[in-house]
Structure 1
Amino acid sequence: MTAPLDVPGSAIEAGPETVLEGAETSVIRGRSLGQIAWMRLRRDRIAMIGGIVILLLILVAIFAPLLVSWFGHPPAEWHREKLDPSIGAPLGTFGGISSDFLFGVEPDSGRDLFSRVLYGARISLLIAFFATLLCVVLGTVLGMIAGFFGGWVDTIISRLMDIFLAFPLLVFALALAGVIPDKAFGMSGDTLRISLLVFIIGFFNWPYIGRIIRGQTLSLREREFVDASRSLGARNHTILFKEILPNLLAPILVYSTLLIPSNILFEAALSFLGVGVRPPTPTWGGMLSDAVHNYQVAPNFMIFPGLAIFITVLAFNLLGDGLRDAFDPKAR
């Protein structure tokens, strides 16, 4: 329909371009699912705070040597002058906290607790990140294969998941970490212990994410875009990694952020039980293990490593909950 010209006695009508002339036009742009999820996540202040805390923890772990050179002392350096020679307890109030020792000193050795907490973050986060990466890769690949192909392939992988889930992981980790010598597989020292912990945590935890990915793949393989891709001659590996995998990124990302804190706690538990990274390399769990015998004379020796674990796990859980709500708001 066109609008008539406002000319007395004229029946001429104006075209659409005349009606729209001078009107403000705006370009309507579509948003991807990732952009929509990011908009939802930005509105979740608690999740954003968790993400900021995680980013700060990563920066602290990366720049730990620089921060220690500014505000602390080398983590293996002993300061016996800060201890009571009779009982080995730190001098001063609350474990020897001062401007030179921000978190105080360790009993019996006098090592700087601030620098050891910072260096402990490097070990704990490194093990948790790489163990989670191994777990996600194994769980995603095997879960996709089981859900996509089905049949005997699904049966074998599903029963393998059941076996791993029923396995007493902590007992096996204690036994395996205890019998491995100081030199094995061409590695030694901290490199061997870190690699061993990454393998134990990542390799035996993959069924948890594998079951989630399998269930999602069972649903996705019946979707129209998979049928369209197959009708165009796409092969199975092309459908798996170019059609199904991009639609699994959201659950993979969400579950990874929830899996990292559990891996941090598992590493801390192994270090607490004495089968983690060997002293004097600092880890949060190892520091808590040492603090059990000295917390009465130096409560800060237990408080600061415990707070580090608590804040890290809480931040990852808050971010994981926020990501879950952002990608699937109907599940709230």
Structure 2
Amino acid sequence: MTAPLDVPGSDFEATPEAVLAGQGDIKAIQGRSLGQIAWMRLKRDKVALAGGLVVIFLILVAIFAPLIAGAFGQDPTQFNSDLIDPTTLVPKGGTGIGADHLFGVEPVNGRDIFSRVVYGARISLLIAFLATLLSVVIGTLLGVTAGYFGGIVDSIISKAMDVFLAFPILVFAIALAGVVPDSAFGLTGDTLRVSLLIFIIGFFSWPYIGRIIRGQTLSLREREFVDAARSLGARGPYIIFREMLPNLIAPILIYATLLIPTNVIFEASLSFLGVGVRPPTPTWGGMLADAVRFYTVPHFLFFPGMAIFITVLAFNLFGDGLRDALDPKAR
């Protein structure tokens, strides 16, 4: 087969090799993995990228909280009574904001708000991440088991989900946190309170992701690759862990990023109600509870409230962008 030369009035023809040689170096077409396609989509979503950068920033703040607070020479539990007006018990000048106290100081005791907000990120994010991990692990295992095996197994797990979904988690958390002593299960102090909150939030939140994974598994178990694995003699555990779970990574990641901000708010709510981590350990919810009594000092309420707002908004924006990037039907 030959290709005619693009010369008007010419009868000469050129071979395909000559035509290709005139095009210079032609790069081979390279395929892209699903991860590369998802990253390409995510990069186009500037709002989701901004949310992801804020999430990374918050994580770094939580990890390096002692260094950040130490750089400004502030201890979150240190009292600064000299900055408090003894008559009104509010900071001198109204807020106490200055070079040494970027967010001002608290009324009554004069503790630095900046360092307490920074340290509060450690408690909130630690509880939110570990509680999310616990609920994702339990929900994924039970959801994929119910969806794959069906029958009596699906019926029992589904009924358990209904019971947990109908359970008043907030009331139970308040009751349980109120009766647990200062020392239990070999744990004491903040370690006990943090572990208790992780258990309460994580253990009673698994049905939400469990239902999602069960529904996804019901559709996956009818796919060709699952039938092929069965025809080769693969057993249930192998199919679940080697065939189905890799195809469930996307919904698991998406739901986890959307569950973390919910757990941040839940932890803040428990601390606000006085059943979270106990003072003087700083938490965002505890700071809001203290600030309610001083409605004439708005900066005391503003900074921990904005910390919760920014954290929840960043995770939600990043989770929405991740959902769109991992959606196989997206373009």
Is the shorter-chain TM-score for this pair beyond 0.5, marking a shared fold? Answer: yes
Deviation of 1:108 after TM superposition, in Å, equals 1.1
| Partner in structure 2 of residue 248 of structure 1 | 248
CA distance in 1, matches of 2:191, 2:106: 25
| Partner in structure 2 of residue 9 of structure 1 | none
Deviation of 1:258 after TM superposition, in Å, equals 0.5
| Partner in structure 2 of residue 140 of structure 1 | 140
Distance 1:36 1:107, change over 3 A: same
Letter in 2 for 1:307: M
The 10-residue stretch of structure 1 (233-242 or 95-104) with the greater mean CA deviation from structure 2: 233-242
Letter in 1 for 2:302: I
The one-character-per-residue Cα deviations of 1:130-149 (angstroms, maximum 9, x if unpaired) are 00000100010000000000
The one-character-per-residue Cα deviations of 1:40-89 (angstroms, maximum 9, x if unpaired) are 11111111110011111111111111111112411111100000112311
Deviation of 1:330 after TM superposition, in Å, equals 4.5
| Partner in structure 2 of residue 323 of structure 1 | 322
Structure 2: state its 5+ residue gaps: 6-11
Deviation of 1:233 after TM superposition, in Å, equals 2.1
The 10-residue stretch of structure 1 (170-179 or 18-27) with the greater mean CA deviation from structure 2: 18-27
Q: What is the number of residues matched between the two proteins?
A: 326
Q: TM-score, normalised by structure 1?
A: 0.94
| Partner in structure 1 of residue 93 of structure 2 | 92
| Partner in structure 2 of residue 299 of structure 1 | 298
The 10-residue stretch of structure 1 (140-149 or 221-230) with the greater mean CA deviation from structure 2: 221-230
| Partner in structure 2 of residue 116 of structure 1 | 116
| Partner in structure 2 of residue 151 of structure 1 | 151
CA distance in 2, matches of 1:69, 1:200: 33
For the 8 Å contact 1:121–1:284, the answer to whether it is kept is: yes
CA distance in 2, matches of 1:51, 1:249: 19
CA distance in 1, matches of 2:73, 2:228: 61
CA distance in 1, matches of 2:330, 2:73: 46
**Helix, strand or coil at the partner of 1:40:** helix
Runs of 4+ in 1 over 4 A off after TM superposition: 12-19, 329-332
CA distance in 1, matches of 2:3, 2:212: 59
How well do the aligned residues superpose, as a CA RMSD in angstroms?
Answer: 2.0
CA distance in 1, matches of 2:236, 2:115: 52
- Percent of counterpart pairs with the same letter? 71
| Partner in structure 2 of residue 8 of structure 1 | none
CA distance in 2, matches of 1:281, 1:273: 15
Deviation of 1:2 after TM superposition, in Å, equals 3.7
| Partner in structure 2 of residue 174 of structure 1 | 174
The 10-residue stretch of structure 1 (226-235 or 264-273) with the greater mean CA deviation from structure 2: 226-235
1:28 paired to 2:29: yes
Letter in 2 for 1:31: R
Q: TM-score, normalised by structure 2?
A: 0.94
The 10-residue stretch of structure 1 (222-231 or 174-183) with the greater mean CA deviation from structure 2: 222-231
**Helix, strand or coil at the partner of 1:132:** helix
The 10-residue stretch of structure 1 (29-38 or 152-161) with the greater mean CA deviation from structure 2: 29-38
Deviation of 1:21 after TM superposition, in Å, equals 3.5
For the 8 Å contact 1:146–1:157, the answer to whether it is kept is: yes
| Partner in structure 2 of residue 259 of structure 1 | 259
Letter in 2 for 1:323: L
Deviation of 1:16 after TM superposition, in Å, equals 4.9
Within-5 A mapping of 1:1-332: 1-3=1-3, 16-17=16-17, 19-23=19-23, 24-93=25-94, 95-296=95-296, 298-328=297-327, 330=329
**Helix, strand or coil at the partner of 2:157:** helix
Letter in 2 for 1:25: I
CA distance in 2, matches of 1:326, 1:199: 31
Deviation of 1:200 after TM superposition, in Å, equals 0.2
For the 8 Å contact 1:72–1:102, the answer to whether it is kept is: no
**Helix, strand or coil at the partner of 2:74:** coil
CA distance in 1, matches of 2:257, 2:200: 19
Letter in 2 for 1:63: F
Letter in 1 for 2:58: L
The one-character-per-residue Cα deviations of 1:255-305 (angstroms, maximum 9, x if unpaired) are 111100000000000000000000000000000001111131x21111000
CA distance in 2, matches of 1:235, 1:22: 57
CA distance in 1, matches of 2:328, 2:313: 21
CA distance in 1, matches of 2:196, 2:42: 36
The one-character-per-residue Cα deviations of 1:81-112 (angstroms, maximum 9, x if unpaired) are 0001123111114x111111110111111111
CA distance in 1, matches of 2:164, 2:3: 74
**Helix, strand or coil at the partner of 1:20:** helix
